[in-house]
Amino acid sequence: MMLTPPISPGKILIIRLTSIGDVILTTPVIKALKAGFPDAHIDFLVMDRYAEAISGNPYLDKVVLFDKEKYRGINGICRFGRNLNAEGYNLVVDLHAKIRSILISRCLHAKIIRYKKRSLWKSLGVHLRLMRYQVDDTIVRNYFKPLGQLGIQYTSEALDFHVTPDDMKKAAPYLNMIVFAPGAAQHTKQWPMEYFVELAGHFREKIVFIGGDDDGEAFDAINPEGKGNCINLAGKLSLKESGALIAGSKFVLTNDSAPFHMARAFNKRVFVFFGPTDPEMFEYDQNTNLLYTGEPCSPCSLHGDLRCPKGHFNCMKHMRPGWVYDQIKDAL
């Protein structure tokens, strides 16, 4: 539902600097802003290393890149903001709400609406292990809340991720295969790599592994001779090429990470592991299957951690490959 909006703000800047998954989660907001203000010019500010997560979005006029190496420290961030002010933005939608985005937005002579992050006392309580982590609402719904003052209300969690014909051409030899994405930004969000490799042995179909260099190296350490039905492309594809592979996949198995949201953007069948993070952060359709055992200490964090706070990592280790295979087969 969308209320009648005020006069078009003219030129809008949306800010979400990091990370890949969170950038993809802003795409329902972008689409809603364009629907509410069809004549507006809409730009998106993102850190340069995450540009592929948003490039090609048809509702954007331009993707503006921030180079944190070039604009270091508070002085560098403010210098970037002052330079950006020449673009003449009328409205800034800050969906990051951290020091960089706050400083940049304050340098722009524009109306600012900002996503409200989780209360500091709650975050501190979770960090000190005084309370379990529990979301207040989904991430996308929270992104929409500040837009209410513009007359724009939450529509849906339908995500967008765009690939090019060249990306699809690169993925063509691997289409209609199963895609495993074993990576994640934090260690505790990663189902063990040895489990992924063991699970692959349960399938007769070809399994394509995607991810970063670290994921590729971890796979090679477990399966150095490349035996079995696995194809290791981790570290060998761009983000867009990985997206093309997901778009043409039979189904995707992933952690709570960017490939999960890419799969949802393409309406692909996806099986996703949740351990330390809260599944209630997202809304799901019939193509999404949660792999989650609901351990007594889970969820324990927003983004995961370097190590399990309890030291046992039961939330992931208790999901054995045989059990996961049964979940997948039952769903398919």
In 98-147, which residue ranges form alpha helices assigned H by DSSP?
Answer: 99-106, 120-127, 139-144
State pTM to two decimals.
0.93
**What's the pLDDT at 1?**
40
User: Do residues 108 and 13 make contact, with C-beta atoms less than 8 angstroms apart?
Assistant: yes
C-alpha to C-alpha distance for 27 and 93, rounded to whole angstroms: 13
Hey, which residues does 209 pair with through a beta bridge? Answer: 180, 232
pLDDT tens track for 250-296: 999 999 999 999 999 999 999 999 999 999 999 999 999 999 999 99
What's the number of CA atoms in the CB half-sphere (13 Å) around residue 247? Answer: 20
User: Which residue, among 189, 170, 183, 331, has the nearest Cα to 247 in the 3D structure?
Assistant: 170
CB 180 within 8 A of CB 198: no
Q: Which residues pair with 44 in a beta bridge?
A: 14, 63
Q: What are the structural domains, with CATH classification, of the chain?
A: 11-150 (3.40.50.2000), 165-331 (3.40.50.2000)
Instruction: Determine the Cα–Cα distance for residues 24 and 317; give it in Å rounded to an integer.
Output: 29
Other CB atoms within 10 Å distance of the CB of residue 141: 16
pLDDT at position 255 is 97
Q: How far apart are CA 39 and CA 24, in angstroms?
A: 23
Q: How many CB atoms lie within 10 A of CB 238?
A: 12
Contact 149, 111 (CB under 8 A): no
pLDDT of residue 130: 58
CA torsion 193-198-201-205 (nearest 10°) is: -30
pLDDT at 9: 84
According to the model, what pLDDT value does residue 257 have? 96
Strand ranges inside the chain, DSSP E = 11-15, 41-47, 62-66, 91-94, 111-114, 178-181, 207-209, 230-232, 251-255, 270-273, 288-291
* Residue whose pair of structure tokens reads 């090609």 in the numeric block: 56
The dihedral built from the CA positions of residue 155, 142, 100 and 265, taken in this order, carries a sign that is negative
**What's residue 304's pLDDT?**
86
Q: Distance from CA of residue 187 to its chain's centroid?
A: 16
CA 239 to chain CA centroid, Å, is 12
* Residues in the chain with pLDDT values less than 50: 1-5
User: Are the C-beta atoms of 54 and 47 separated by less than 8 Å?
Assistant: no
For 267, other C-beta atoms within 10 Å of its C-beta total 14
Q: How high is the pLDDT of residue 126?
A: 59
Q: State the pLDDT at residue 195.
A: 96
At what angle are helices 73-84 and 99-106 packed, to 10 degrees?
Answer: 40
